[in-house]
Amino acid sequence: MAVHTITVEPTGQQFLCPDTKNVLVAMEYLGCDGIQVGCRNGGCGVCRVQVLAGTYTAKKMSKAHVDEADLAAGVVLSCRIFPTSDLTVRVCPKPTVEPALHPTASAGNDG
């Protein structure tokens, strides 16, 4: 078992996380600022972080919570990743889903 240092930006808060534990467990245990804890199993999406540096292994993540664009930007569910090196992360809550605000297209002038 290896133990890695997780650094949380922008606060610079650091904590240790063994490679056998997911990052959320370590963040929660250490009282990391800003992280939200939900299902702890990839089902709710509240624990999103953006990995700014370092490597990790990841369990399957629902595209409902982390889509391709998120993955490309390094956004993952902290409860689903296990560090394989020191990591730098930023807490990245799921954007609030807003109701559709698209007015129906006007067919033209009414008068």
Q: Which residues lie near ligand FES (CB under 6 A)?
A: 24, 37-40, 42-47, 77, 79
Closest CA to 96 of 46, 47, 62: 46
Least Å distance between CB 65 and ligand FES? 6
State the minimum distance, in angstroms, from the CB of residue 30 to ligand FES.
16
Enclosing H/E stretch for 7:
strand 3-9
Q: How far is the CB of 39 from ligand FES (least distance, A)?
A: 4
Q: Shortest gap between Cβ of 44 and ligand FES (angstroms)?
A: 3
Closer residue to ligand FES (CB): 39 or 73? 39
Residue closer to ligand FES (CB basis): 4 or 35: 35
Burial class (CB in 10 A: 0-12, 13-18, 19+), 60: exposed
Nearer to ligand FES, 16 or 44 (CB): 44
Q: What is the C-alpha to C-alpha distance for residues 57 and 80, in angstroms, rounded to an integer?
A: 8
β-pairing verdict for 87-91 and 3-9: parallel
Alpha-carbon dihedral 36, 56, 7, 66, rounded to 10 degrees: -30
Nearer to ligand FES, 83 or 107 (CB): 83
